[in-house]
Structure 1
């Protein structure tokens, strides 16, 4: 009932805003205002994005409900789900969700973790390092990563005297960052379509790969985990949590064979990579870097992703143990069904981007900024805005959907044609990295809550204990973006920030032990 009243209020306000004089300055920003208001009050990214779409179409159609409803479907929703890129993204995400479900059910990840722990002289560091390594291996989906590694590793951390809050930090800090920078994950389809929709004439794959070194938050977070584990750095917020009583927390995990995981992952990666050349129009040449580049820039993306994910799923089903308590059919269905909410968010995100373009949001933001912000400084500003948006909304995907078309639209208006594609990777990386950081720091985030529950601790305790780590990586990332604004290459900026990060952890460790 509360959600219904919120929706009615947003609809009424949207109709009122539509009656303002033509060209009112609030028009381009109303979808963002409506979306954020609903997300903050309902804690639902899907509800907020839907409110942004409907509120924007009401404003665009002069407040006429029937015309707004027609425009929502005819001008924004239907065109988005009929695009070959978007259809490919939907099928790929579902297939990869099923793939993750079958791999989890096979028990192979449990066997990999057990082998990582054998013969360890420092069991606590070995456990945390093994959880980190397992998280890197589960690069294909952030949420599945959190659920899987947290559940598998919980008995190991209990036996070795590690707090579950520390386990939740490793799990959460590995899952989303690795999925964000992995070129084969449930995120990649969303990331590529957001880039493609915002810069239709650009090479989405090329910009994505260039944005990886320009995404220092995710990279530095993945670096911070082994540094903190090796140096045994625990901020005060983490040290106050004690391990659970192992005598009352014995849990068992179904164990399988590592090859049941490794073989399907190998099939998935090689099939997608090969698919780009097989379905591109360029001649196939497995040894030519130029052929691979041309294939990645072709229209083979949707077909290659779907075919590769299907091949990986078939391999996972064939490797699934026949005597497993859960048949592979049930595991695949559950894995795919678990991503349906994410697909709804994805479709609404595409529709909201279309509404932004109709209302000219990017041009409006540029007119407000004027000459106060140079194109080279845009990545740093975008990182801050994305972090704040993701923190308040608790949704990294929702933040990416809100900001990517706006940020790249502003870049198009700000940068000259010669520097546009040079700065674009930094803007893209800032959207992705800022969204992941805000998502990490937010108590409303689904991955934050899932990581805590999978590890067996309170979500609020997880947020408070993880925050010092996230802020440390975010500070180093902001330094990297500052260096980028001064003209330093993204890779060099991120490398310099990595040195700063390491020295900062050393300093904080010494102070904590003083």
Structure 2
């Protein structure tokens, strides 16, 4: 099917902007995404109603079947259902409540609960989906116990997930980026860096990711609440103590710890195994980085989830002296709890496909063409990558489009700015991902926290923008000085000054 070409037209921005603005102002995410999808389909098919309907039908079907089963999407959806069932199983056994009660003896206040949640990213940085959902399941009973809002929990999950993944070479993100960077280094004959050295240097210049994580710990330690987050925190503290739904008996802490450990270890082991299998199939030697570069995240999450579900079931059966569990009820309630997130995710994937067919990313990439002072390139590329990720809802898609453009522009103007420009794209992709209601990581962070999706988006946005402002000044300094230390200093100074100003006005 042929479509109208919008690759060089600002009209390519219309469908994502309609969806984004409607979602923010109406707070009805599925309706907003549906309208964006329909508008985009009509535009692509020149208002031909029959072709528009066929296009929408094919787009929906392609989520699960596109010249064969779309295993990645299917596995992510299946993992969501498994996690919902696992959470419900831990709920009815009282394990979540037992963990919250135990944590209260170790964690004495709200600050400790928030810091614990933020610190878990140092153990779960392998993948952003995995982090948002697994840490959400672990931390939610504790944050509820200390009356921390679900919006604050969602913010902590989201603002540590992608930033940590993009900084770490041993993660699904790091492996993907190093693959792209290796090709770009070869293309532009840059031999002074190996891909891993280039990645680590770029990570040191990824000011947005670094300061997003720092911001989470500032917010957690100092209760630094901005805009709507203040309202959500106040409401949470005024509520009565929450008790985990459906709990039918006193549980044990180990019945939560062991399944979560099984989830983490099982997922990591499968990621390494699937990467190993891909390497061997291609006749390559095995390495940990190579395994993560070629891993299959979806099936790894499913296997890890099933293993956790099995461990949880065994633990509960032993404690209940092998009395039967009503698994039909557990599966129904668990799957139902994830139905909203699954619907939003499917609609987000669909509009991402529409945005891809509209060539929104290609249009945005043309905006940097022309005579631009090389010193401004890192800051400009950061802003452009932010806009692209915000509009398309995908960091990885932004990496794929923008990294080659950034490398080419820098190599042809000032080769010393190649790595700063690549780093700026990485930072902007994460920033746009944080701001976008149609980002899958944002959606799954809402899911992990069991938070209203738009509440999460609007409460996270002020923090993302504050860090983004500091980051822009950092990249301007980097472009003109070519000094990582100087640019880090400017970013830090701006970051601290902004926090002090907003804190005084709090």
- Using the size of structure 1 for normalisation, the TM-score is 0.65
Q: Aligned residue for 2:362?
A: 362
Cα offset, 1:284, TM superposition: 7.9
d(CA) in 1 for partners of 2:115 and 2:364?
A: 48
Distance 2:36 2:181 in 1: 21
For the Cα contact (< 8 Å) 1:143–1:176, is it kept in 2? Answer: yes
- Where structure 1 has 5 or more consecutive residues not aligned to the other structure, the ranges are 1-14, 159-163, 391-396
Provide the alpha-carbon RMSD of the alignment: 5.4
* Higher mean C-alpha displacement, 319-328 vs 193-202: 193-202
The equivalent position to 2:466 in structure 1, one of 456, 472, 476, is 472
Paired with 1:401 and 1:168, the residues of 2 have a C-alpha distance of 27
Q: Distance in 1 between matches of 2:203 and 2:326?
A: 37
- Residue-by-residue CA offset, 1:237-259 (whole Å, 9 max, x unaligned): 8778647677x713223554222
1:278 corresponds to: 277
2-structure distance, mates of 1:454, 1:346: 20
Q: Aligned match of 1:37 in 5, 9, 18?
A: 18
Partner Cα separation in structure 2 for residue 292 and residue 133 of structure 1: 24
Deviation at 1:182, TM superposition (A): 5.5
Q: Aligned with 1:118: secondary structure?
A: helix
Aligned to 1:7: none
Deviations 1:35-68 (A, max 9, x none): 3235434654632552464245225xxx655566
Q: Secondary structure at the match of 1:379?
A: helix
**1:313 to partner: Cα distance:** 2.0
Residue from 49, 69, 87 that aligns with 2:70: 87
The superposition leaves residues 107-153 of structure 1 with CA deviations (integer Å, 9 ceiling, x where unpaired) of 55555444443255x52322332343467767645764696478524
SS of 1:37's partner is helix
Looking at structure 2, the residues matched to 66 and 249 of structure 1 have their Cα atoms a distance apart, in angstroms, of 54
* 2:165–2:174 Cα contact (<8 Å) kept: no
1:104-123 map, 5 Å: 104-105=87-88, 106=90, 110-120=97-107, 123=109
Does structure 1 residue 126 correspond to structure 2 residue 122? Answer: no
Does 2:311 correspond to 1:319? yes
Q: Is the Cα–Cα contact under 8 Å of residues 224 and 503 in structure 2 kept in the other structure? A: no
Range with bigger deviation, 474-483 or 493-502: 493-502
Distance 1:243 1:53, change over 3 A: closer
Equivalence map 1:27-106=2 (5 Å): 28-41=9-22, 44=29, 46-47=33-34, 49-51=36-38, 53-59=40-46, 82=66, 87-105=70-88, 106=90
SS in 2 for 1:339: helix
**Compared CA separation, residues 197 and 114, structure 1 to 2 (3 A):** same
- Tell me, what secondary structure is at the counterpart of 1:280? helix
Relative to structure 1, the CA distance from residue 354 to residue 497 in structure 2 (aligned partners, 3 Å threshold; closer, same or farther) is: farther
Q: Deviation of residue 266 (structure 1)?
A: 1.7
CA contact (8 A) 2:385 2:429 kept: yes
State how far apart, in whole Å, the 2-side matches of 1:153 and 1:144 are.
15
Q: CA deviation at 1:171?
A: 0.9
Aligned twin of 2:387: 385
- What is the rounded CA distance, in whole Å, between the counterparts of 1:370 and 1:189 in structure 2? 36
**Aligned counterpart, 2:188:** none
Q: Post-superposition shift, 1:316?
A: 0.9
Q: Distance in 1 between matches of 2:181 and 2:347?
A: 23
- Residue among 145, 148, 152 paired with 2:141: 152
Q: What secondary structure, in the 3-state scheme, does the structure 1 residue paired with 2:146 have?
A: helix
Residue 262 (structure 1) shift: 1.8
Q: Secondary structure at the match of 1:227?
A: helix
Aligned equivalents of 2:289, 2:175: Cα separation in 1: 19
In structure 2, C-alpha distance between the alignment counterparts of 1:66 and 1:93, rounded to whole Å? 31
Where does residue 6 of structure 1 map in the other structure? none
Shift of 1:306: 4.0
Change (3 A) 1:380 1:316: same
| Matched positions, count | 450
1:329/1:48 CA distance change after superposition, 3 Å: same
1:150-229 correspondence to structure 2 within 5 Å: 151-153=140-142, 155-158=144-147, 164=148, 167-168=149-150, 170-181=152-163, 183=165, 215-229=206-220
Deviation at 1:199, TM superposition (A): 10
TM-aligned CA distance change 1:92 to 1:371, over 3 Å: farther
- The answer on whether the counterparts of 1:214 and 1:425 sit within 8 Å (CA) in structure 2 is yes
Q: CA deviation at 1:234?
A: 5.5
| Distance in 1 separating the partners of 2:243 and 2:106 | 21
Shift of 1:315: 1.2
**Is the contact between residue 19 and residue 33 of structure 2 (CA under 8 Å) also seen in structure 1?**
no
Give the aligned partner of residue 436 of structure 1: 434
Alpha-carbon contact 2:275-2:291 (below 8 Å) kept: yes
Equivalent-residue separation in structure 1 for 2:39 and 2:483 (angstroms):
36
Do the aligned partners of residues 294 and 115 (structure 1) sit closer, same or farther apart at CA in structure 2, a change above 3 Å counting? same
CA gap of 1:372–1:191, structure 2 versus 1, over 3 A, is same
TM-aligned CA deviation for residue 34 of structure 1: 3.3
Q: Cα deviations across residues 297-336 of structure 1 (Å, max 9, x unaligned)?
A: 4xx433xx24422330221121113469773644664576
Structure 1 residue 272 displacement after superposition:
0.8
Question: After superposition, what is the alpha-carbon deviation per residue over 1:197-246, rounded to whole angstroms, capped at 9, x for unaligned?
Answer: 9999779x989998765654344232223234434556698778647677
Summarize deviations over 1:245-298 as a string: whole Å, max 9, x none. Answer: 77x713223554222212221221232123312331367877xxxx3344444x
SS of 1:301 mapped into structure 2: coil
Match of 2:371 in 1: 371
CA distance in 2, matches of 1:26, 1:274: 40
Distance 1:146 1:260 in 2: 13
If the length of structure 2 is used for normalisation, what is the TM-score? 0.66
Deviations 1:373-417 (A, max 9, x none): 755443332255358x56xxxxxx636588667645754774547
Greater CA drift, 398-407 or 376-385: 398-407
User: After the TM superposition, which residues 249-398 of structure 1 pair with which residues of structure 2 at under 5 Å, given as runs?
Assistant: 249-253=240-244, 254=247, 255-256=251-252, 257=254, 258-281=257-280, 291-297=287-293, 300-302=294-296, 305-320=297-312, 321-322=316-317, 327=327, 329-330=331-332, 333-334=335-336, 337=339, 338-356=341-359, 362=362, 366=366, 369-372=369-372, 374=374, 375-382=377-384, 385=387, 389=390, 398=393
